[in-house]
Amino acid sequence: MADLNRTIQQKAKDHFDYMVQTRRYLHKNPEISFKEHDTTDYILHELKKLGVETHRPLETGCVGIIEGKKSDRVIALRADIDALAMDEEGDQKKGFMSERVGAAHCCGHDAHTSNLLGTANILAEMQDEIDGKVLLIFQPAEESLPGGGRLLCETGFLQEQGVQEIYGMHTNPDYKPGEIASKPGPMMARPDEFEITLKGVGGHAATPHLTVDPIVLMGQVITQFQTLVSRSIDPTEPAVVTIGRVRAGTTYNVIPAFAEMIGTVRTFSEKNAYIIRDRMESILKGIMENAGGGYDFEFNEGYPAVNNDPELAAHLVTSAKALLGDTSTVEMEKPIMAGEDFAFYQKHFPGAFFFLGSGSDEADSKWSWHHPKYNIDEKCFLTGSALMASLVLGKR
Ligand code: NI
């Protein structure tokens, strides 16, 4: 095992420059969810260079398959490939800043893709030592509902291939390069989204008594929503309601006819998500009907919560400790409230997810996910590509 890990680590070093170059190329050429056409072509090209069999169950994204020794084991490794619809900042990314307006890899999916291509290189070289079959999933559209993970699972492709276990990861600025973090059970939240239109009666700013002012009512709704978590959810269970955007009105002297608000709800169970949804509706009904207005309310169910299979999470931690040492393997005490569409795979197959430490001062990579300056310390590839390979090559 120690020998195997040394070999894997050496190979990760051998392919380090390749992963860095790949990441920088992808970073420069980001594509947003469901539009990852060039990215998919690039990945297919890289996999074919390695002689890896490729499939395209969806229009964008792809799956590579490496067959090892004959065995029943079928293991899947997943990376997401899409960028965010935003512009980036930060001179720490000099030379490989996004060249596409309105698209930027500010969530590290460029790194996830290059890391998995690095793992593909390691595994292709150690093919004879693989027990069974490995699927390398390059999934589109992690950032947009309904989520590429869900769509891929719905094609039935992974089921046909007989996937028995699946692993995925996300770069994380809260941990250092060289570290990984995970936990059994709930690890990331269920993110639902809501869209609300408050319907009033517009009019002149000087005659508010002849209107139903949706801006004033919005103030009440926002305040009431602050009681959703504090007064409707069991305090021992984490939940968040965040209103991310409010919009109303056009100018100084007009009371608008409607006001809009959108936001997200984070929970760890369907039960709590539905409690919040139903309470939102009754708050809206109460406030708006009482004022003589109306409302539209849409609650869009997002990804389920990421819930790690205990046995696979144990395999993950054991593999990480053997590869990186005890101090570099963080066993998380509590889950985090961000969501991940990796959860969809876990509805179909046992799976485990981990965070790959990528935050450092040298790389100016401690900015949070989705920050315009988001960056990764590329040294994380040495850990990430090796751990992915060792999950496949090491005995469970
Ligand atoms: Ni992400």
Reported as a single tens digit per residue, the pLDDT across 263-278 is: 999 999 999 999 999 9
Does residue 248 have a pLDDT over 90? yes
* Residue boundaries of the structural domains of the chain: 2-189+305-393, 190-300
User: How far, in Å, CA of 103 to CA of 83, rounded?
Assistant: 6
CB contact set of 37 (below 8 Å; sequence gap of 6+): 31, 60
Ligand 1 centroid to Cα of residue 314, in Å, is 24
**CB count in 10 Å sphere of residue 270:** 13
Ligand 1 centroid to Cα of residue 56, in Å, is 22
In this prediction, residue 1 has a pLDDT band, given cuts at 50, 70 and 90, of low
Residue 65 tokens read as 């398959």
User: How far, in Å, CA of 262 to CA of 283, rounded?
Assistant: 15
Ligand 1 centroid to Cα of residue 385, in Å, is 17
Run of H or E residues at 4: helix 2-14
User: How far, in Å, CA of 334 to CA of 47, rounded?
Assistant: 37
Ligand 1 centroid to Cα of residue 327, in Å, is 25
In tens, the pLDDT along 253-262 reads 999 999 999 9
Asked whether the bond before 146 is cis by omega within 30 degrees of 0, the reply is yes
Ligand 1 centroid to Cα of residue 312, in Å, is 22
Mean pLDDT of the chain: 96
In this prediction, residue 145 has a pLDDT band, given cuts at 50, 70 and 90, of confident
Ligand 1 centroid to Cα of residue 15, in Å, is 23
Ligand 1 centroid to Cα of residue 108, in Å, is 6
Ligand 1 centroid to Cα of residue 264, in Å, is 16
In this prediction, residue 395 has a pLDDT band, given cuts at 50, 70 and 90, of confident
- In b/e form, how buried is each residue of 354-381, taking b as 16+ CB within 10 angstroms? bbbbbbbeebebbbeeebebbbbbbbbb
Ligand 1 centroid to Cα of residue 370, in Å, is 8
C-alpha distances in Å from residue 158, one per residue of 77, 131, 347 = 11, 18, 13
Positive or negative CA dihedral for 211, 295, 85, 368?
positive
**CB count in 10 Å sphere of residue 56:** 13
C-alpha distances in Å from residue 173, one per residue of 83, 299, 357 = 17, 31, 6
User: How far, in Å, CA of 389 to CA of 8, rounded?
Assistant: 7
Cβ distance 122 to 15 under 8 Å? yes
In tens, the pLDDT along 12-47 reads 999 999 999 999 999 999 999 999 999 999 999 999
Ligand 1 centroid to Cα of residue 142, in Å, is 7
Q: What share of the chain is helix, strand, coil (3-state, %, to 5)?
A: 40, 25, 35
Task: Determine the pLDDT at residue 146.
Answer: 87
According to CATH, the topology of domain 190-300 is Alpha-Beta Plaits (3.30.70)
Q: To the nearest whole percent, how much of the chain has pLDDT over 70?
A: 100
What CATH number was assigned to the domain covering residues 2-189+305-393? Answer: 3.40.630.10
201 by Cβ neighbours in 10 Å (0-12 / 13-18 / 19+) ranks as: middle
User: How far, in Å, CA of 83 to CA of 102, rounded?
Assistant: 10
In this prediction, residue 55 has a pLDDT band, given cuts at 50, 70 and 90, of very high
User: How far, in Å, CA of 282 to CA of 51, rounded?
Assistant: 58
Question: Which residue type is seen at 215?
Answer: I
Ligand 1 centroid to Cα of residue 366, in Å, is 15
